[in-house]
Amino acid sequence: MEMEQMGPQTFLYGCELKSGKEVVFNPEDDDLEHQLSIRMVCVDPSTKDEMHIIEAEGRDTEGQEVQAVIASLKPSTLPSVCLGGFEITPPVVFRLKSGSGPVYISGQHLVMGADQSFDDDED
Amino acid sequence: MEMEQMGPQTFLYGCELKSGKEVVFNPEDDDLEHQLSIRMVCVDPSTKDEMHIIEAEGRDTEGQEVQAVIASLKPSTLPSVCLGGFEITPPVVFRLKSGSGPVYISGQHLVMGADQSFDDDED
Amino acid sequence: MEMEQMGPQTFLYGCELKSGKEVVFNPEDDDLEHQLSIRMVCVDPSTKDEMHIIEAEGRDTEGQEVQAVIASLKPSTLPSVCLGGFEITPPVVFRLKSGSGPVYISGQHLVMGADQSFDDDED
Amino acid sequence: MEMEQMGPQTFLYGCELKSGKEVVFNPEDDDLEHQLSIRMVCVDPSTKDEMHIIEAEGRDTEGQEVQAVIASLKPSTLPSVCLGGFEITPPVVFRLKSGSGPVYISGQHLVMGADQSFDDDED
Amino acid sequence: MEMEQMGPQTFLYGCELKSGKEVVFNPEDDDLEHQLSIRMVCVDPSTKDEMHIIEAEGRDTEGQEVQAVIASLKPSTLPSVCLGGFEITPPVVFRLKSGSGPVYISGQHLVMGADQSFDDDED
pLDDT value, residue C7: 67
Q: In whole angstroms, what is the distance from residue D21 CA to residue B33 CA?
A: 51
pLDDT of res. E44: 98
3-state secondary structure chain B: CHHHHHCCEEEEEEEEEECCECEEECCCCCCCEEEEEEEEEEECCCCCCCCEEEEEEEECCCCCEEEEEEEEEECCCECEEEEEEEEECCCEEEEEEECCCCEEEEEEEEEECHHHCCCHHHC
State the complex-level ipTM. 0.90
Whole-number Å distance between alpha carbons of E95 and E105: 11
C-alpha B10/C-alpha B29 separation (Å) is: 18
**Interchain CB distance below 8 Å, E106 and D56:** yes
Question: pLDDT grade, residue C114 (50/70/90)?
Answer: low
Query: What is the per-residue pLDDT across D67-83, written as a single tens digit (0 to 9) for each?
Result: 999 999 999 999 999 99
pTM as predicted: 0.90
Q: Quick check: B97 and B17 in contact, CB under 8 A?
A: no
Write the pLDDT tens digit of every residue in B66-75.
999 999 999 9
Interface check for C52 against chain B (CB to CB < 8 A): the answer is no
DSSP for C77-121, written as a single string = TBSEEEEEEEEEPSSEEEEEEES---EEEEEEEEEE-GGG---GG
Question: For an interface test with E, which of D19, D51, D62, D94 has the most E Cβ atoms less than 10 Å from its Cβ?
Answer: D51
Q: Please, what's the largest Cα pairwise distance for chain E?
A: 51
Low-confidence ranges of chain A (pLDDT < 50): 1-6, 117-123
Q: DSSP code of E102?
A: -
Nearest to E71 by CA among D41, D52, A43: A43
Q: Which residues, listed in sequence order, are joined to residue C83 by a DSSP beta bridge?
A: none
Cα–Cα distance measured from residue B116 to residue A123, given in angstroms and rounded to the nearest whole number: 9
CB distance B83–C85 less than 8 Å?
no
Which contiguous run of DSSP H or E holds residue C3? Answer: helix C2-6
CA-nearest of E34, E39, E41 to E91 is E34
Cβ contact A106–E70 (<8 Å): yes
In angstroms, the first-to-last Cα distance of chain D is 16
Q: How many CB atoms lie within 10 A of CB E111?
A: 16
Contact (Cβ atoms closer than 8 angstroms) between residue E1 and residue D4: no
- In whole angstroms, give the CA distance from residue D47 to residue D41: 13
Q: Is E28 on the interface with D (CB under 8 A)?
A: no
d(C-alpha A69, C-alpha B42), whole Å: 7
C17, C95 in Cβ contact below 8 A? yes
pLDDT at D119 over 90: no
Residue D115 has what pLDDT? Answer: 53
The residue length of chain B stands at 123
| Rounded mean pLDDT, E91-99 | 98
Note whether E114 contacts A: Cβ–Cβ < 8 A: no
| Nearest residue on chain E to D68, alpha-carbon basis | E14
- What pLDDT sits at residue C115? 53
pLDDT at E75: 98
Q: Is B4 a residue whose pLDDT tops 90?
A: no
Q: Could you read off the pLDDT of D15-56 as tens digits, one per residue? A: 999 999 999 999 987 788 999 999 999 999 999 999 999 999
Tell me whether C27 touches chain B (CB under 8 Å): yes
For residue D86, the model assigns a pLDDT of: 97
Of E78, C47, E83, B43, nearest to D76 by C-alpha is: E78
Question: What's chain A's average pLDDT?
Answer: 88
> CA B106 to CA B108: how far, in whole Å?
7
Say whether pLDDT at D6 is over 90: no
SS3 of residue E46 by DSSP = coil
Chain D: partners with 3+ C-beta pairs within 8 Å = C, E
User: pLDDT tens across C42-83, in order?
Assistant: 999 999 999 999 999 999 999 999 999 999 999 999 999 999
Distance of alpha carbon B44 from alpha carbon A73, whole angstroms: 10
Is A84 in contact with B39 (Cβ distance < 8 A)? yes
Phi–psi pair at D93, nearest 5 degrees: -120, 130
Give the one of E3, E72, E84 whose C-beta lies nearest to A42's C-beta: E72
pLDDT tens, residue by residue, A75-105? 999 999 999 999 999 999 999 999 999 999 9
DSSP one-letter code for C74: B
- Give the model confidence (pLDDT) of B8-63 as tens digits: 899 999 999 999 999 999 998 778 899 999 999 999 999 999 999 999 999 999 99
Calpha distance D52→D69 (Å, rounded) = 10
Chain C contact probe: residue of B10, B42, B51 with most C CBs at under 10 A: B51
Helix (H) or strand (E) holding E3: helix E2-6
- Residue E26: phi and psi, rounded to 5, are -155, 80
The pLDDT > 90 percentage for chain D reads 80
Q: Kindly list the partner chains of chain C, i.e. chains with 3 or more CB atom pairs below 8 Å.
A: B, D
- For chain A, the residue count is 123
What does the alpha-carbon distance between residue D47 and residue D74 come to, in Å, rounded to a whole number?
A: 9
Q: Is B74 on the interface with C (CB under 8 A)?
A: yes
**Pairwise CA distance, residues B37 & A65, whole Å:** 19
For residue B63, how far is the Cα from the chain centroid?
18
Residue E88, classified by CB atoms within 10 Å of its CB into exposed (0-12), middle (13-18) or buried (19+), is: buried
Mutate to test the interface with A, among E25, E50, E86, E92 (most CBs of A within 10 A): E86
Residue C86 near chain B (CB below 8 Å): no
Q: Test C69 with D4 for CB contact under 8 angstroms.
A: no
